[in-house]
Structure formats: C-alpha cells, structure tokens
C-alpha cells in the first residue's frame, strides 16, 4: 500500500506492507520526504527504511508544482533501486492512496480515482491552489508509471462534511450558499486521527470527549470535536481562512481585498498575497518556516518577534472561539510539524489560556518522544501532544476500499 501525502511545502510518501488492519499503527517499511519549505525551487529528499537512509537535493527552476512530477519520479526510484529499495518493481504495489485537500460537496468519503474524480480535483483547485494541484500531480504521475494499480483519493474535507448548518453557513445571499459557497474545513484526516487517538490516552470514550485539536504546520487549522464529530473549525471555503499560517493570512477583513482591487491589484496578485506572501513570511519578511523565525528572534530581529507574537495571538483567539460550540473543553491537542516539535509555541499558547484552567508541566512539554499528556497535575484541561498519522489513516481508508 503506497500513500502519497502532499502538503503546501512538502510531500510524504510511505509504503506499508499489510495483511489486514492491525490493532496498532504499524511503521511503514519505506518512508520518503520531499521538503521545499525553505526554497520553492529546491527540494530536500530524505528516504528511510528500517536499515538504510538516503538524502539528496533536487532542483527545478520553476519549483513545485511545476517541478513536482520530476521530483516524484526521482523519489520513487529509491523505492526500487539502490540501498533503500524494498520492492523489485512498482507492480508489487496493490493500491495507491492520496491525500486530497478539497472534495467540495461531492466527496465525503474515500473514493477510487477515475476520470470524473480527477476532473473534480482539478475543478476544486480554484479553492485550494496550494494543495489540489499537487494532489492531482501525484495521481497523474502514478497513473503514468503504473496505470494498472488502482488509486484512492482520501479527502481532507470529509471529516468536516457534517458541520452543523449554523457553522457551515456564511452570512451571504442564499443563492451563493446554494451554489456551494460555505465553510468546508480542512486537515480533516489529521483532526479525525488525533481526536480518535486522544480517547484511549484520556481513558474516556470518544462520545464523552470535548476536544480542541490544533493542526499546526505550514498550514494551520483548529477544530472543535464533540463526541467524535467535528462541530466547528477555523478554515472555511478555502484553506486560506482561519488562523495565521506560514504563508497564508488566515482571516482578514474582506474589505482589504476590495481596497486592493480598486488600487489596481489583479485577482492573481491577490491570490499570491493571500496564499503565498502573507502569514509568518509576510509579517517577518524572512521566512514561512518557524525554525528560521525562531533563529531570527534569537538574533534580535524585531520583525521576526512580531510575526511570532501575531501567530501565538491568532492561535489563542482561534482556540477561544471554539469553546462555545463545545460547551467546555476536556483536552487541547497539539499535532503536526509545529504542534509536535515546537515546545515554545505550546507553552506560549497555553500561557494565554490560564483563565481556562490550562496549565503545562514544563518538563513534559520539553520532551520529544511519543504521544503524551503535558498538562500539570492541577490543570483542569488536559493538554496532549500527538503525532499525527495521516499516512496510516489514508492507508487504513485504502484497506476499506480494497475490502469493498
């Protein structure tokens, strides 16, 4: 089972060897990561198996998305060739699963890819310009390399498909809502996985839990999960909405865009502004990568400090906004690249939530191993750090499609 998980600045590819769905999350027998977060024209390739590792630098003058097909082919070569080879040919793969960010109203469950599914993914690229084109590129590359292998699309929007009507409806004319302009929500594969994973750690059934899950990476979103169902989320019609992110602005006054249109900005320029030039990158003027922001703060760069402070403030506001639909909070969950690996972000976010009864154990917060509860013994709200397993969740969805 091969899984392709394309993000806005990275691509993870995993190979799982499975007889049936196991009781615990199995490690992939092969794992590769392409990361172009620091430079869109240069991708760092890292490949791991249980016994070997391989690293390389791939370049393309036009960068991802244009360079992504060539990068994927180079990545897949390490699956069948060299020291990291674990299969003889790609024909050894029985099914390929893809994370697809936007499925609109059309797709609310995993589906086998055909021409109609590909056309829909392309259509919804207008709503998710950083992701759906990369998702589609992965599907088409795999279709070229191994056309006989069935492919499955697993949609990030599916977990949010049953948002209450009051939560998904924008205050706009109803004919626009009827045309599909509504809040969809994203990162659903991750939010669903960590909300399910939280229950055994808290020793409570999922139906009894009120969670706020924080998926924090280059893209960031928060979700309110009550009784295992998503009842509210910060992203909306597109992944540009919600809290501040690496290059995306999150929620801003829509009048700003009207003002810039009247000042001569084109739609394409606004697209670049909202999706690729804002967020941490826009405020700092340095980078969308939090690691570089933190390094600049250590050097006394004021703009980097402001970007970080705005990011923390945005997360605190977002978390507070999700409390009413839950009616209270049992646990706060941090996951994804920043959520799992940036203790300063967790500490600073939670410091502003003391009024809610959130208090961290500073020693546990600084640790870097495994899924864990980092709240203090006296905290009224538990605080979990969970490793998101989107790749396994996609593989599990493929198993169910294969069985059907």
Specify the DSSP element, H or E, that contains 298. helix 290-298
Q: Is 44 annotated as a binding residue?
A: no
Q: Is 341 annotated as a binding residue?
A: yes
Q: Is 104 annotated as a binding residue?
A: no
Q: Is 288 annotated as a binding residue?
A: no
Q: Is 48 annotated as a binding residue?
A: no
Q: Is 365 annotated as a binding residue?
A: no
Give backbone dihedrals phi and psi of 194, rounded to 5 degrees, phi first.
Answer: -70, -30
Q: Is 135 annotated as a binding residue?
A: no
Q: Is 289 annotated as a binding residue?
A: yes
Residue 121 CA to residue 127 CA, distance in Å, equals 10
Q: Is 218 annotated as a binding residue?
A: yes
Set 23, 91, 114, 156: catalytic member = 156
Provide CB contacts within 8 A for 37, sequence distance 6+. Answer: 9, 10, 218, 246, 288, 289
Residue 40 CA to residue 38 CA, distance in Å, equals 7
Q: Is 373 annotated as a binding residue?
A: no
Q: Is 339 annotated as a binding residue?
A: yes
Structure tokens at 119: 């056309």
Minimal CA–CA distance to 314: which of 228, 246, 404?
246
Give backbone dihedrals phi and psi of 247, rounded to 5 degrees, phi first.
Answer: -125, -5
Q: Do residues 332 and 374 touch, judged by C-beta distance below 8 A?
A: no
Q: Do residues 215 and 384 touch, judged by C-beta distance below 8 A?
A: no
Distances in Å between the Cα of 355 and the Cα atoms of 158, 316, 318, 358 are: 33, 12, 15, 7
Q: Would residue 156 show up in a list of annotated catalytic residues for this protein?
A: yes
Q: Is 317 annotated as a binding residue?
A: no
Q: Is 5 annotated as a binding residue?
A: yes
Q: Is 67 annotated as a binding residue?
A: no
Minimal CA–CA distance to 147: which of 123, 117, 113, 121?
113
Q: Do residues 43 and 32 touch, judged by C-beta distance below 8 A?
A: no
Q: Is 290 annotated as a binding residue?
A: yes
Q: Do residues 374 and 364 touch, judged by C-beta distance below 8 A?
A: yes
Q: Which residues are annotated as a binding site for Mg(2+)?
A: 5, 390
Q: Which residues are annotated as a binding site?
A: 5, 12, 99, 215-219, 289-291, 337-341, 390
Q: Which residues are catalytic?
A: 156
Q: Which residues are annotated as a binding site for substrate?
A: 99
Q: Which residues are annotated as a binding site for ATP?
A: 12, 215-219, 289-291, 337-341
């Amino acid at each position: 089972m091969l899984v392709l998980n394309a993000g806005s600045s990275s691509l993870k590819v995993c190979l799982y060897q499975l007889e049936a769905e196991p009781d615990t999350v199995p490690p992939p027998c092969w794992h590769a990561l392409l990361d172009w977060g620091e430079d869109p024209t240069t991708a760092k390739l890292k490949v791991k198996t249980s016994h070997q590792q391989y690293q390389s630098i791939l370049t393309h003058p036009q960068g991802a998305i244009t360079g992504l097909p060539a990068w994927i082919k180079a990545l897949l070569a390490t699956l069948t060739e060299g020291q990291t080879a674990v299969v003889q040919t790609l024909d050894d793969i029985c099914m390929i699963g893809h994370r697809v960010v936007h499925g609109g109203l059309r797709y609310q469950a995993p589906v086998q890819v055909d021409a109609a599914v590909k056309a829909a993914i392309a259509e919804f690229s207008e709503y998710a310009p950083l992701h759906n084109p990369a998702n589609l590129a992965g599907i088409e590359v795999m279709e070229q390399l191994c056309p006989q292998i069935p492919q499955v699309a697993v949609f990030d929007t599916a977990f949010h498909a049953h948002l209450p009507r009051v939560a998904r409806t924008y205050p706009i004319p109803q004919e626009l809502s009827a045309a599909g302009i509504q809040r969809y929500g994203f990162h659903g594969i991750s939010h669903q996985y960590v909300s399910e994973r939280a229950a055994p750690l808290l020793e409570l059934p999922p139906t009894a839990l009120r969670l706020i899950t924080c998926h924090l990476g280059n893209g960031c979103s928060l979700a309110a999960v009550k009784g295992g169902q998503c009842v509210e989320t910060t992203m909306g019609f597109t992944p540009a909405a919600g809290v501040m992110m690496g290059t995306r602005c999150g929620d801003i006054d829509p009048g700003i865009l009207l003002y810039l249109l009247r000042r001569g900005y084109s739609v394409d320029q606004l697209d670049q502004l909202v999706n690729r030039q804002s967020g941490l990158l826009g405020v700092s003027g340095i980078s969308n990568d939090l690691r570089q922001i933190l390094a600049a703060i250590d050097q006394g760069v004021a703009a980097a400090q402001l970007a970080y402070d705005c990011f923390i403030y945005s997360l605190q506001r977002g978390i507070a906004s999700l409390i009413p639909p839950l009616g209270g909070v049992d646990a706060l969950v941090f996951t994804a690249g920043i959520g799992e690996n940036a203790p300063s972000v967790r500490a600073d976010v939670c410091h502003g939530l003391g009024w809610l009864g959130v208090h961290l154990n500073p020693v546990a917060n600084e640790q870097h191993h495994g899924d864990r509860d980092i709240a203090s013994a006296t905290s009224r709200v538990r605080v979990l750090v969970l490793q998101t397993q989107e790749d396994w969740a996609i593989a599990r969805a493929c198993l169910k499609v294969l069985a059907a």
